[in-house]
Amino acid sequence: MNAGRNYRLYTGYRRYSELKQLDWIVRNVEFHKANRQAHSITILDIGCGKGNISLPLASLGYQIHGIDLDPNEISYVAERNEFPNASFEVGDAENIDFENQCDIVICSAIIEHLSFPENLLRKLREIVKKDGVILITIPNGYGPYELFYQTPMRLLSRLSSLFGSPNTSADPHIHKHNFSFKTFSTLMGDHSLYIEKVEHSDFMSFWPIVRRVDFLVRIDCKVADVLPHSLVSGWHFVCRLK
C-alpha cells in the first residue's frame, strides 16, 4: 500500500479494531486504483456517518460522495469537510437516488441495519462499474459480538417496551438482520454479486476487559485473523459483479 498513515488524522476512529477496518478499506482502494491517479477514482460511501472513512479517503485525493440517513451526521461531516473532492448528502440506503456509476462503493456496517437489504444490493448493480468493487463490512450474526452485545441490547429494548418505557426498538445501533457467512454469501449470489476476498475484523475486542487495553485489542484482532469464519465477530468483504 503506497498511502501514508496521515489519512488517520481525518478519522474519529481511535481503537485498533476500528483502525484495522479503515486500513483494510484504504488498502483495497489503493489496490483497485492500481496505476491510475487518485482523482480519477470515484467512490460512494453508503452510510457514511460522521465521515470516519470518507474523509480519510478524501485526504488521499479520491473523489468521494457520502450519504447517510441521519441529517445530524451529514451536518457534522459537512462541517468537518475541508476537501473539495468530497461531498455529502442525506440519503436512504434502501432507496438510493444516485445515477452516476462509481469505481468503488463502500457499505460499512450498514447492511445489517436495513429492513430490506435486497433493495440496496439490487441498486449496487446499477451504481458499480463493471470492473468496480464493493467493500462491505458486516458483523457475524452468530458471532461473539452479536451473542454477547447485540442480543442483550434487543432483550432490554423489548423489556422496556413491555413495561411502558420509551421504545428504543428503532435504535440505529441495533441490528435488524443476523447474517451467517453462508446466508450472506447466498444473499450476494442471489443478486449476481460474488465475494472475491474476505478478512476478519476481531474476536472479542468489544468485551470491557479487552477494549480498555489497546494491547489486548491488538492481540484480539490478530487472533481473529486465524480463526474460522464462524468464530469471529465480523467480516470484511471485497465483492464484485458477476
pTM exceeds 0.75, yes or no: yes
Which grid cell is 169? 426498538
pLDDT at 168 over 50: no
Q: Are 17 and 66 in contact (CB under 8 A)?
A: no
| Banded pLDDT at 161 (limits 50, 70, 90) | low
pLDDT at 1 over 70: no
At residue 113's C-alpha, the angle toward residues 112 and 119, to 5°, is: 85
> 63-68 and 42-46: which strand pairing?
parallel
pLDDT at 62 over 80: yes
Percent of the chain whose pLDDT exceeds 90: 83
What is the model's pLDDT at position 29?
A: 98
For the domain spanning 5-141+176-241, the CATH number is 3.40.50.150
Cα 238 to the chain's mean position, in Å?
12
What is the model's pLDDT at position 5?
A: 64
Tell me the mean pLDDT in the region 154-174. 63
pLDDT at 169 over 50: no
More confident residue, 83 or 152: 83
> Per-residue pLDDT tens for 123-148?
999 999 999 999 999 999 999 999 98
